[in-house]
Amino acid sequence: MINNKLPKLWHGADYNPDQWLDCPDVLKADIEYMKKAKCNVMSIGIFSWSILEPVEGVFNFEWLDGVIDSLYKNGIYTILATPSGARPPWLGINYPEVNRMDGAGNRYEYNFRHNHCYSSPVYREKVHIIDEKLAERYAHHPGVIMWHISNEMDTNAPYDCLCPLCRENFRAWLKKTYKDIDTLNKFWWNGFWSHKYSDFSQIQPPNLQGEEHSVGLKLAWKRFKSDLLVDFYREEVKTVKKYNPDLPVTTNIMNTFEIDYYKLCKHVDIVSWDNYPNWYSKNDNCEIAVETAFYHSLYNAMKPDKPFMMMESSPSATNWQPAAKLRPCGFHLMSSMQAVAHGSNTVQFFQWRKSRGQLEQFHGAAIGHDGTDKTRIFHEVENVGKALEQLVQIQDTLSHNDVAFLFDYDCAWTLDIIEGFRNFEKRKGFETTLFKNLGALWHLNAGVDIIGTEDIVSGGIALARYKVVVAPMMYILRRGLVEKIEEFVQDGGVFVSTYCTGIVDEENLCWQGKDYYPLGNVLGILYEETDALYDIHENTVEMFGKEYRATRYCELSHLNGAEALGTYKTDFYAGMPAFTVNHFGNGKAYYIAAELEEEGLIKAYGEALKPVLPKEKIPDTPRGVNVQWRYGTDGEAYAFVINYTETPQNISLPYDFDILYGDLTCGTIDKYGVCVLKLK
Amino acid sequence: MINNKLPKLWHGADYNPDQWLDCPDVLKADIEYMKKAKCNVMSIGIFSWSILEPVEGVFNFEWLDGVIDSLYKNGIYTILATPSGARPPWLGINYPEVNRMDGAGNRYEYNFRHNHCYSSPVYREKVHIIDEKLAERYAHHPGVIMWHISNEMDTNAPYDCLCPLCRENFRAWLKKTYKDIDTLNKFWWNGFWSHKYSDFSQIQPPNLQGEEHSVGLKLAWKRFKSDLLVDFYREEVKTVKKYNPDLPVTTNIMNTFEIDYYKLCKHVDIVSWDNYPNWYSKNDNCEIAVETAFYHSLYNAMKPDKPFMMMESSPSATNWQPAAKLRPCGFHLMSSMQAVAHGSNTVQFFQWRKSRGQLEQFHGAAIGHDGTDKTRIFHEVENVGKALEQLVQIQDTLSHNDVAFLFDYDCAWTLDIIEGFRNFEKRKGFETTLFKNLGALWHLNAGVDIIGTEDIVSGGIALARYKVVVAPMMYILRRGLVEKIEEFVQDGGVFVSTYCTGIVDEENLCWQGKDYYPLGNVLGILYEETDALYDIHENTVEMFGKEYRATRYCELSHLNGAEALGTYKTDFYAGMPAFTVNHFGNGKAYYIAAELEEEGLIKAYGEALKPVLPKEKIPDTPRGVNVQWRYGTDGEAYAFVINYTETPQNISLPYDFDILYGDLTCGTIDKYGVCVLKLK
Amino acid sequence: MINNKLPKLWHGADYNPDQWLDCPDVLKADIEYMKKAKCNVMSIGIFSWSILEPVEGVFNFEWLDGVIDSLYKNGIYTILATPSGARPPWLGINYPEVNRMDGAGNRYEYNFRHNHCYSSPVYREKVHIIDEKLAERYAHHPGVIMWHISNEMDTNAPYDCLCPLCRENFRAWLKKTYKDIDTLNKFWWNGFWSHKYSDFSQIQPPNLQGEEHSVGLKLAWKRFKSDLLVDFYREEVKTVKKYNPDLPVTTNIMNTFEIDYYKLCKHVDIVSWDNYPNWYSKNDNCEIAVETAFYHSLYNAMKPDKPFMMMESSPSATNWQPAAKLRPCGFHLMSSMQAVAHGSNTVQFFQWRKSRGQLEQFHGAAIGHDGTDKTRIFHEVENVGKALEQLVQIQDTLSHNDVAFLFDYDCAWTLDIIEGFRNFEKRKGFETTLFKNLGALWHLNAGVDIIGTEDIVSGGIALARYKVVVAPMMYILRRGLVEKIEEFVQDGGVFVSTYCTGIVDEENLCWQGKDYYPLGNVLGILYEETDALYDIHENTVEMFGKEYRATRYCELSHLNGAEALGTYKTDFYAGMPAFTVNHFGNGKAYYIAAELEEEGLIKAYGEALKPVLPKEKIPDTPRGVNVQWRYGTDGEAYAFVINYTETPQNISLPYDFDILYGDLTCGTIDKYGVCVLKLK
């Protein structure tokens, strides 16, 4: 449960009554429609600064009082935003230093949103003033249930700030991180291309008008930017918490890899994120479902003892996607329930009502330009509201899983920066690999917790909690991690590694000498080379009497204790191992050397997981029907069965259960069908 | 007829004798060749400023006197250009303020052509001086038959000017347009993303160094830029008209949507345009023919009581197109006659003679680098000259049509700016839709007048002149237009609408509340949603017992008085209407909800048009053979029959006629064949 | 032989011991491995400036003394680099003027490598100081065998310098080249677009902030930049030669067309280049082999009386290519021997040892991160070392050929700049055409010397040395060249021309009037038009009773003495000649008017070459098996037979020979097999 004030699954939306102040009927009608759609929360004030403070120092809260009061009187709670996501014109124009600066020293003009300089003392001060005013007035309002700090905070929208203050802050960060210039030179391998600095003062951030190639510099800059954003966020939190430390705070995060959300989310009371899958953009919606599951599983695991929130989603077409494709009847329910299945206690969407103009006038909404509840989309939203009421007991459950899936932001950043492997893929195809590996687990119905390795090394997360740990394309093998993995396997755990895993340390220095491949010990292999294929090439892997296509990556290693379960069939490495297992202590370590086609990858993961996971946890289902679990504090188990395909599917589940929601008559689940089962 | 001095169809080219001043034989030879090719006009002086005024204040007109005199003595008239299209080096270098400025405040250096600041008082003054000198000297020369103001005036080649003067002019334009800042905030929907301005002085033009996203701002900036260009143009007209108000002026416009030519052409005496179809760039030349027909029909309709001029075209390869593809024998005649068929009284081409160097040295020309009349292309040009002489009586006829095709530049601009629908297509695929709809009409041989809706609302154009009005993807439904359309249908007209039509008003504010879809009344439908498909998807529409593919756009609406003539077959909207008709007063209103394949679109338009157009006006012809009409003042009717395909085609026409040009022996029209018939 | 000190084929690598100064074991181990791999040269110091001079004026040579001494004691010679390729931080930061400046006047910050201002007096001075220190200390060291000036000198990495000094130098270069402004205006055809300058001071380099379109200006700028680079290089040579004029100098050139290497290589003692074929990036490795052969043949011919050096290559994956694809066993030997076959006396690679960090940490190397000689790649390198020892007698031979293949850098530059033909291909597809034509010759086993036409006109190269001269897409026909070609054919030579050949003079002015196509006389044709096809089109050419596809380019010409050997089959030019021969004096001139498919092109070239080349020089081999020749001073002939395919091939050669290297048992050459034969 998120908050005792509202002991339900939350249903709501971003709501912008400030856009309709000259249409008083709108608020009144909206509240009626909200109640009809069983909405109980609304996010308010996200971009209201130019209305709250139209002229510097002149504040206007009456309209907001009215909105919050009216909602509250009608049983709808407010998630109140600080408006720092978009500054008003007067702020960007009167104080140019709050805008970012480009590499050539040109200050950007006042601009759309987000592109403020996070270092700017002026910006921080002006945000502090408006935040304080809001906190003073609303921190104890009975209708205000949570703070929504800023909005989709971003490091580089649309471009890095390269102002003197940010440059100076970066150098200070470097000094704090590396202590002395020799250490920095060594970690960055600055003998290369004559780049040995003699002093920190010589270092400038990477930029098109300067250094664009130094790997160490670029990685440091990404880390710095992420840290600076967290610092800015924390200052806002401090302001609002002063007035009511008990009112929880969150900030809505996104599906970007550009910010280290592990670090940011240490400072939220509850994790919330904005979920915009691009359904129907590929031939197979399962791929989209897997990508979405990735983010749900990642953000759910960031606070293992709490549910998360899906702060935004689209009830229909998303206007800024390549095509604003409509979603079929029932699809919004399915897409919403995927979040709940993975641990969300809310279904919130953008936006309650379509605006008349500007960039998001065509974004999906409960209420369209006709202003009625007669539309298909309103009906879809209403159905979600009803379902959430039906599932009220779910609020006391959490999603936690037997499989740990390792993922680091540093790894994504570094793969973006280096040159090697499949350069023509963004980040060398890191996401593709992540999603293919997660996809195999998803098709096996094996739910995962996606966790960062820094917390493992520091002891914040104990691997012992898991039965299986997978490390797909975990290019960075942080110092201290291999010991944790070996201990985990020694104690009976199953570890699965893939190509491009364990190559460098966290400074992007290749592991070296006799330790050049630290995972070799647990995997029982001698790694030698990584073949990065062009798309015109492929290999074949024979496993368990069957042949599977291998594309993109094929790694060449030698057995050194491990047993080959699969071997390459062609090219000069025919006969070399492509899938291996090593018995290590009481556990096993698997190595998937190549990018196998889906069926092969499922086969390989099945081989690794099935012996250690209870059969009921990984039931067989038709392709596209997925099962996720939530558990109550007294051991109650709830299975969320969702059919992501466009046809009804027959399923047979190996449990006794009550149906909490949905229909499984004759063992058939409808297209886009959702069933929630409670195990007996 | 354009001008009594030269009562013929005009034939000519851009001619640059100033490039050959050190080869006196060239002018002499050229005149002989011109006469052989039956040329009677030449456009002179377009880029001659650095020769006319090699050093500031030093003028050199002798060579031009000689050229104009020599041509005139040989029966060839001069269309004399003002040279403002490209300034000489001294002007761009000595007066940097005539060059544009980028968003970061950097002034561009002297540059190729066109990129002057239209606000610059210095530039206007220098243009005024040279124009006055030219007008003084040549406005009454018997050989000078028309002014050609500047050349292909453009707003953004290569980039917007963001200098302080342009910024100030823009704010003045905003103040004049919106009067007060509250109105502007409301029209631009500036509550969104905290963008409420408190003063006009806060507004800067959109630019990469500043605001890039505000829809209202970007639309206003496009309108302002177009207006500024018109203002600059009018100042040049004023200068030359002072010396001889009777000498007609034109400026050669292009196939761009970036300038509001409806507004510009209110200030020309005759519309002229530069026509460069990219023949052979697609598998089907009919697509190119339709695109070309679009511009001919648009510019022809801008001055309904006058013919237009095709000021430029290429007699052969166009060197700057993606590939400089040659055109087959006979093709230049066909392409030229398409213009005449649509109302042009001229066939002019670029260029008379290929230059030896610089960017257009390989552009098609009557005279090539061999300098003779022995080439295939010279022969092609000569054939056009002969044809135009044979068609002399056409000069007294005009093209006017029964079908009005609505098109607004604002609509193109807004579709470019907004986010929604098929974002991955430029302007959301507006041109594709325009050309597909026009294509259906073209294949039906239904000629169109392409007209703007502002003139309809203001009363400048009476819809009563037409039998059919079509509004394909007319996203902007200007305030006051729906009443005109309803009146038109009430009185017996046929109206055809498509998807994405009538969504917003002219400020890009969505129509709202009970009026959210103003065309619903006349169409007899309740519009609900627009499905923007990815290219991997399609639907099927059943109409009149046949199935047609539907791609790109499928709109979901409900019958509300209308009758469904076609319905969707698949997806969740199977069974919903895809093509409807509504009886309204004495007329009918059709709604084509989806993007149908060509055959389906022809079927739909045929259904709408055939009952109201005389059968003779829309004769059946083989695919690729097109008929257009011109009419004399005494009712003479001339049919231009053109075969755009690569094979001879059999046709049978339901009239009695005399053949004025071409060959229809045995009812066969040759490949690329042109026949001009005069009805008996 | 390159240098008497080391009378062998050289084997070695780029070596960076300066990256491992804190790991003294590395140097020791490396030397052992080098000896095992039979390496005898190492390139040292290429990017060592920040270690040699960590702070301005403080020098540190001890480590370098140690490295050179240790290598020398172990029989390994040093190719010593000047470190000007990458400046140390202090230089770029303390002296901002050594960095380039962009068009808007912004100075770039200190940056990765290469992007110094070649005009900067400060940069030249600082380079002079460090070069002098190195020369003073090492010019007479017995272990130092050659100077390696700078590294991969480049004109535009990452961008042109547009600083005031470069601008002034450019104007001075223009004055020197064109003498007076009228000549420049004439050559640049500046009447076009009003561009007549009245003074040199008005001219600025082409740039995005200014002039981007003037063809003459852009061509001049490319020439200037290339000349400026040569000037900078020569200043370095002068510095080091002062201390020992006998120590040879080279600079490693690349496969770029941006620098006129004909001019640069007049100032090297031996030509060396860096060879990074992107093997496996296309379906057919033969295409890659032909591209590589192009550069080998070009650089080999630059100093006809000397071998060349392959200064760099990759023994395995190249980390910065689109995909870092591994190469099969034996492939490194094959790829290395291709260089030797074409005249290289060295096989050198980048890099000896993989660095731990930075951009090239994953580039192929003899020693990987494991630091051992146990790897597949080490074994591959060792095999090359052994082969080179076996082939020691080759060091006294040279590659020279009967076929001259004309190629000019100006031609590449001009085709890049102009508009016309197939604009959508970079340089209008010049490389594609070069490689297709060279490919036909390669498949015929006809080795070529690729030579520049300026040397022919000046008399530096006598065409009489050759039996065949081919001029594929030789767009520029330099003044004076046609006479040389006519004389060559007159005297019995065979000349082969293609489409787009001989169109302009060296100022890019079209040949004009009765001389509009100067090659028409020797070819016996009247050229008329060039058809640039879109990729959706093709034609067919019938030759010798067979039909061949023609794509991309089809030229239309008329017979004027020549005989048609092939004719077009379709389109309006069906029946026109597509392949012709003209008897001219004692020789013949062929004209290939269209881009024929490979088989057709081989047929056409075979027709031209076979009668004049000895059959033994162009033996029949299976597709993908290629033969190249080297000759000793006493007439010894060595054939290098290489199988570039993935399957063994049967060959039968029409000579008596001894096998010097490789295996031809039963007439079969292994996949990737290399055989070196010595003719008896």
With a CB-CB cutoff of 8 Å, which residues 464-523 of chain A face chain C?
507-514, 516-517
Mark yes or no for CB contact B514/A370 under 8 Å: yes
Mean pLDDT within B124-136? 98
Cross-chain CB nearest to C86 (options A194, A212, A534) = A194
Q: Please give the positions of C annotated as active site.
A: 152, 312
- Interface residue of C44, C278, C370 to substitute, partner A, most A CBs within 10 Å: C370
Cross-chain CB nearest to B420 (options A18, A110, A324) = A324
Cross-chain CB nearest to C532 (options B54, B109, B323) = B323
Q: What type of residue is A397? A: T
A320 close to C (CB below 8 A): no
C214: nearest CA partner in chain B: B358
Please give the DSSP secondary-structure letter assigned to residue C192: G
What is the pLDDT confidence band of residue B3, given thresholds at 50, 70 and 90? confident
Mark yes or no for CB contact B112/C211 under 8 Å: yes
Mark yes or no for CB contact A111/B513 under 8 Å: no
CATH of the domain at A643: 2.60.40.1180
**H or E segment to which residue C300 belongs:** helix C285-302
A488 in the same domain as A540 = yes
Q: Is residue C435 part of a domain?
A: yes
pLDDT digits (tens, 9 = 90+) for B331-375: 999 999 999 999 999 999 999 999 999 999 999 999 999 999 999
Quote the mean pLDDT of chain A: 97
Q: Please enumerate in sequence order all residues whose Cβ is within 8 A of that of C250, keeping only pairs 6 or more positions apart, or say none.
A: C146, C147, C148, C149, C268, C269, C270, C271, C272, C309, C311
Q: Is residue B151 part of a domain?
A: no
Query: Is A310 within 8 Å of A348 (Cβ atoms)?
Result: yes
Query: What is the per-residue pLDDT for C1?
Result: 78
C316 close to A (CB below 8 A): yes
Please give the DSSP secondary-structure letter assigned to residue A113: S
Q: Decide: residue B633, CB within 10 A, 0-12 exposed, 13-18 middle, 19+ buried.
A: exposed
Instruction: Report d(CA A393, CA B398) in Å as an integer.
Output: 77
C640 in the same domain as C506 = no
pLDDT digits (tens, 9 = 90+) for B379-405: 999 999 999 999 999 999 999 999 999
C209: nearest CA partner in chain B: B108
Work out how many CB contacts closer than 8 A connect A with C: 183
A534 close to C (CB below 8 A): yes
pLDDT digits (tens, 9 = 90+) for B131-176: 999 999 999 999 999 999 999 998 776 689 999 999 999 999 999 9
A550 in the same domain as A509 = yes
pLDDT digits (tens, 9 = 90+) for A216-235: 999 999 999 999 999 999 99
Q: Which chains touch C (3 or more CB pairs under 8 A)?
A: A, B
C673 in the same domain as C556 = no
> In whole angstroms, how far apart are CA B319 and each of B315, B355, B358, B460, C110?
11, 12, 12, 41, 42
C653 in the same domain as C605 = no
B246 close to C (CB below 8 A): no
pLDDT digits (tens, 9 = 90+) for C438-480: 999 999 999 999 999 999 999 999 999 999 999 999 999 999 9
A329 annotated as ligand-binding:
no
Q: What type of residue is C497? A: S
Residues of chain A found within 8 Å of residue C51, distances taken between Cβ atoms:
191, 194, 196
Mean pLDDT within B286-303? 98
Mean pLDDT within B295-304? 97
B161 annotated as ligand-binding:
yes
Q: Is residue B216 part of a domain?
A: no
Q: Which of C559, C590, C612 is the last residue of a domain?
A: C612
- Interface residue of B189, B194, B517, B529 to substitute, partner A, most A CBs within 10 Å: B194
C208: nearest CA partner in chain B: B108
Residues of chain B found within 8 Å of residue C572, distances taken between Cβ atoms:
328-329
Q: Is residue B506 part of a domain?
A: yes
B630 in the same domain as B604 = no
Instruction: Report d(CA A52, CA A62) in Å as an integer.
Output: 9
Cross-chain CB nearest to B357 (options C423, C508, C514) = C508
Instruction: Report d(CA A605, CA A601) in Å as an integer.
Output: 6
**H or E segment to which residue C94 belongs:** helix C89-94
What is the pLDDT confidence band of residue A158, given thresholds at 50, 70 and 90? low
B600 in the same domain as B637 = no
Query: What is the per-residue pLDDT for C157?
Result: 66
Mean pLDDT within A515-530? 98
- Interface residue of C49, C102, C112 to substitute, partner A, most A CBs within 10 Å: C112
Domain extent for A566: 403-612
Q: Which of A580, A612, A644 is the last residue of a domain?
A: A612
B109 close to C (CB below 8 A): yes
Work out the end-to-end distance of chain A between its first and last CA atoms, rounded to an integer number of angstroms: 23
A60 close to B (CB below 8 A): no
Token digits for C249? Answer: 């100098």
Instruction: Report d(CA B99, CA C558) in Å as an integer.
Output: 49
B166 annotated as ligand-binding:
yes
Percent of chain A with pLDDT over 90: 96
Query: What is the per-residue pLDDT for C666?
Result: 84
B645 in the same domain as B563 = no
pLDDT digits (tens, 9 = 90+) for C506-518: 999 999 999 999 9
For residue C433, give the nearest of C512, C496, C506 by alpha carbon. Answer: C496
Residues of chain A found within 8 Å of residue B209, distances taken between Cβ atoms:
102, 106, 108-109
Choose, from B53, B152, B236, B258, the residue flagged as catalytic: B152
A113 annotated as ligand-binding:
yes
B117 annotated as ligand-binding:
yes
- ipTM of the assembly? 0.96
The CA-based angle B84-B88-B89, given to 5 degrees, is: 145
Please give the DSSP secondary-structure letter assigned to residue A492: T
With a CB-CB cutoff of 8 Å, which residues 276-315 of chain C face chain B?
none
Q: Is residue C531 part of a domain?
A: yes
- The alpha carbon of residue B252 is apart from the nearest alpha carbon of chain C, in Å, by 16
Output the 3-class SS for A498-558. ECCCCCECCCCCECCHHHCCCCHHHHCEEEEEEEECCCCCCEEEEECCEEEEEEEEEEEEE
Choose, from A236, A291, A312, A595, the residue flagged as catalytic: A312
- Interface residue of A53, A99, A359, A372 to substitute, partner B, most B CBs within 10 Å: A359
Please spell the DSSP secondary structure of C104-173, one letter per residue: TSPBPPS-SSS-B-TT-HHHHHHHHHHHHHHHHHHTT-TTEEEEE-SSS--SSSS-----HHHHHHHHHH
pLDDT digits (tens, 9 = 90+) for B606-623: 999 999 999 988 999 999
A648 in the same domain as A592 = no
Q: Is residue B26 part of a domain?
A: no
pLDDT surpasses 90 at C108: yes
Cross-chain CB nearest to C215 (options B88, B359, B376) = B359
Helices (H), C459-577: 481-490, 520-523
pLDDT digits (tens, 9 = 90+) for B38-90: 999 999 999 999 999 999 999 999 999 999 999 999 999 999 999 999 999 99
Mark yes or no for CB contact C194/B113 under 8 Å: yes
Q: Decide: residue C306, CB within 10 A, 0-12 exposed, 13-18 middle, 19+ buried.
A: middle
Choose, from B236, B258, B312, B597, the residue flagged as catalytic: B312
Query: What is the per-residue pLDDT for B155?
Result: 77
Q: Would strands C10-15 and C344-349 be described as parallel, antiparallel, or unpaired? A: parallel
With a CB-CB cutoff of 8 Å, which residues 355-374 of chain A face chain B?
355-362, 368-371
Cis peptide before C351 (omega within 30 of 0): yes
pLDDT digits (tens, 9 = 90+) for B467-521: 999 999 999 999 999 999 999 999 999 999 999 999 999 999 999 999 999 999 9
Residues of chain B found within 8 Å of residue C212, distances taken between Cβ atoms:
111-112, 158
How many domains would you assign to chain B? 2
What is the pLDDT confidence band of residue C159, given thresholds at 50, 70 and 90? confident
Q: Which chains touch A (3 or more CB pairs under 8 A)?
A: B, C
Residues of chain B found within 8 Å of residue C216, distances taken between Cβ atoms:
357-358
What is the pLDDT confidence band of residue C156, given thresholds at 50, 70 and 90? confident
C162 close to A (CB below 8 A): no
B369: nearest CA partner in chain C: C512
Query: What is the per-residue pLDDT for A157?
Result: 64
CATH of the domain at B438: 3.40.50.880
Token digits for C131? Answer: 């070069």
pLDDT surpasses 80 at B550: yes
A190: nearest CA partner in chain C: C358
pLDDT digits (tens, 9 = 90+) for C395-409: 999 999 999 999 999
Other CB atoms within 10 A of residue A106 CB: 19
Q: Which of C612, C638, C657 is the last residue of a domain?
A: C612
Mark yes or no for CB contact B214/A377 under 8 Å: no
- The alpha carbon of residue A538 is apart from the nearest alpha carbon of chain C, in Å, by 12
Query: What is the per-residue pLDDT for B157?
Result: 64
Mark yes or no for CB contact C158/A212 under 8 Å: yes
Mark yes or no for CB contact A533/C50 under 8 Å: no
B650 in the same domain as B571 = no
B652 in the same domain as B577 = no
Q: Is residue A457 part of a domain?
A: yes
Binding-site residue positions of C for Zn(2+): 117, 161, 163, 166
C669 in the same domain as C599 = no
pLDDT digits (tens, 9 = 90+) for A445-499: 999 999 999 999 999 999 999 999 999 999 999 999 999 999 999 999 999 999 9
Mark yes or no for CB contact A88/B516 under 8 Å: no
Q: Is residue A593 part of a domain?
A: yes
